Amino acid sequence: MRLMALCLTVLFAAGCAHSPTYDPLDPLEPVNRGIYKFNDTADTYVLKPDAKGYVAVTPGFVRTGVTNFFGNLTYPLTIVNQFLQGKPADGFSDMGRFLVNSTLGIGGLFDPATPLGLNRHDEDFGQTFGKWGVGNGWYLKLPFLGPSTNRDLTGRIVAIPFNPTYYVSDGDVVLGLSALDIVNTRAMLLNADRLVRNQYDPYVFIRDAYLQRRRSQVYDGSPPREDFDFDDFED
């Protein structure tokens, strides 16, 4: 599982307004807060120091190549979901991007596809289920994996066979790739730490940002306006 979603959530969160602590999509809030605290402790003492060390010893162009490589591995998943969402033009464009970057880009380390007009897209089964009318379900905080929902967790499970590393038989290689992916992505988040820490309630900040961002993704950046029900405030 990639941490890129968390990275994008934090950036998206900068434009999100605070909401009351309670959210009807978060009935497991006490449990989720406990998992959030666990994840935060693990990040403070393990992942964040590793990410800082990684940045200190790894040149920027190498980190960019690593990011490109792991981004390229997500493209089989994106392509399938483009077609499942009824977007064949984007699906064929993403097929071209995957082929160009996997060959001319030397396994995805470089990105010659973008200058050719084959722009990056990110689609997954959680978004596809949302397109099909499946609701979020409950908000979930997963150990080590971060924010999710019933719908997105189901999507993650369905997506497992679409990750090329699933077919690598050498467990040490898979573990090494997973560790590199996690540390590299966490390194991309280092500059966003202060943004989260400065929030009155970082848990609510991340939760609301995640839910709003996922809703935006389901509607390709143009979600319909939500009706505000004033009856909820009547005695």
And the tokens for 83?
């077609």
pLDDT band at residue 1, thresholds of 50, 70 and 90? very low
141 assigned to some structural domain: yes
Residues 6+ apart with CB under 8 A from 219: none
Q: For the chain, first and last CA: distance in Å?
A: 44
And the tokens for 211?
């839910």
Per-residue pLDDT at 148:
97
209 assigned to some structural domain: yes
Q: What tens digit of pLDDT does each residue of 63-95 get?
A: 999 999 999 999 999 999 999 999 999 999 999
Its pTM stands at 0.84
Q: What tens digit of pLDDT does each residue of 149-174 get?
A: 999 999 999 999 999 999 999 999 99
Q: Where are the alpha helices (DSSP H) in 48-190?
A: 48-57, 60-73, 75-84, 88-103, 125-131, 150-159, 171-188
Give the whole-angstrom CA distance, residue 126 versus residue 213. Answer: 12
225 assigned to some structural domain: no
231 assigned to some structural domain: no
In the DSSP assignment, the letter for residue 45 is: I
pLDDT band at residue 122, thresholds of 50, 70 and 90? very high
93 assigned to some structural domain: yes
227 assigned to some structural domain: no
What residue numbers bound the domain in which 173 lies? 4-16+32-219
Q: Is residue 126 within 8 Å of 117, Cβ to Cβ? A: no
**Domains of the chain: total:** 1
Residues 6+ apart with CB under 8 A from 153: 140, 142
Residue 230 has pLDDT above 90, yes or no: no
Q: Which amino acid, residue 44?
A: T
Q: What are the CA-CA distances from residue 57 to residues 2, 40, 47, 60, 62 (Å)?
A: 22, 24, 16, 10, 10
Per-residue pLDDT at 23:
77
Helix (H) and strand (E) counts in the chain: 11, 2
Per-residue pLDDT at 22:
65
22 assigned to some structural domain: no
Phi, psi for 140 (deg, rounded to 5)? -130, 140
Instruction: Give me the chain's average pLDDT, please.
Output: 89
210 assigned to some structural domain: yes
